[in-house]
Amino acid sequence: MEKVNIFDAMDANKRNSTIFMFFISALLFAGIVMLAYILDLGEIGFITALVLVLIYVLFAYYAGAKTILSISGARELKENEEPFIQNVVEGLALAAGIPKPRIWIMEDEGLNAFATGIEPKNSHIVFTRGILKNMKREELEGVAAHEISHIANYDIRFATLVVIMIGAIAIIGAFGWRYFVYGGSSNRKGKNAYILIIALIFAVLAPIFAELVKFAISRQREYLADANGAKLTRYPEGLASALEKIKGHATVAAATNTTASLFISDPFEKKFAGFFATHPPIEDRVKRLRAM
């Protein structure tokens, strides 16, 4: 069998992430233009809509981690709780050159974990009770190293921005659709029909395209975090073995569509996700790790 070099994903991931941010920013800008046009807001209205969207993005950006932790039902561990995982995370953070993240637990028997925050000095790692109970030392180190890598690579900031910007696009798209179908019949007569058709296409398709690209980038970032996590522990087999245990047992009751892409494995464990999968297949991830 031909070996797959896990580091082949790294350069492509960084390049694709940059392209994605330009793409999603352009979609968001187009949505604002569409919103201003169909409501006949003019230049003042366009500027107002732009300012409101920016305020939304900034507010959600800085409140994102707290919101994610809250809806996940996570509880922060005290310094004297779970000393083993405290020591593991502290050691790996030191090796990665970042401050020790705050550690949280979800009282769920599923095997899963995720990281969130804005930057390494204000980051959080969440483990389920199930993963702490069922992993061997080297497996838990592999999982923790994967999440530490997400933090050190600033994936947590990228993921927060992605969720927020796609959320804004979805809101604008949904409003545009409802206006076109229910609220704009009297105003549509005096407008260019072609422009309205473009606005309608945007309202329907933009959120879908944005989600598809987000899923593709999320999968690449999982490969990168696997690679860097294995470099931190210098033992790829630990994470590979952990992923094999996680497969089929990753379901988390408190997970949502918003938070699903943050987890180390799909917390819904869809069997036929295809393009809409937030994570690459575990078999592929394990194969890449064992090829290192």
Structure confidence at residue 189 as a pLDDT band (50, 70, 90)? very low
pLDDT for the residue 12: 58
**What mean pLDDT comes out for the span 8-24?**
64
pLDDT for the residue 1: 39
Question: pTM for the full model?
Answer: 0.78
Mean per-residue pLDDT of the chain? 81
The answer to whether residues 239 and 145 touch, using CB atoms and an 8 Å cutoff, is: yes
pLDDT digits (tens, 9 = 90+) for 194-246: 556 666 666 667 667 666 666 666 777 888 899 999 999 999 999 999 999 99
DSSP summary character for residue 292: -
The percent of residues in the chain predicted with pLDDT above 90, rounded, is 41
Rounded CA-CA distance 239/230 in Å is: 7
pLDDT for the residue 217: 64
pLDDT digits (tens, 9 = 90+) for 59-117: 777 887 888 899 899 999 998 899 999 999 999 999 999 999 999 999 999 999 999 99
**147 flagged as catalytic:** yes
The single residue of 147, 211, 222, 269 carrying the catalytic annotation is 147
Q: What value, to the nearest 5°, has the Cα angle with vertex 121 and ends 260 and 266?
A: 10
Parse the chain into domains and list their residue ranges: 8-290
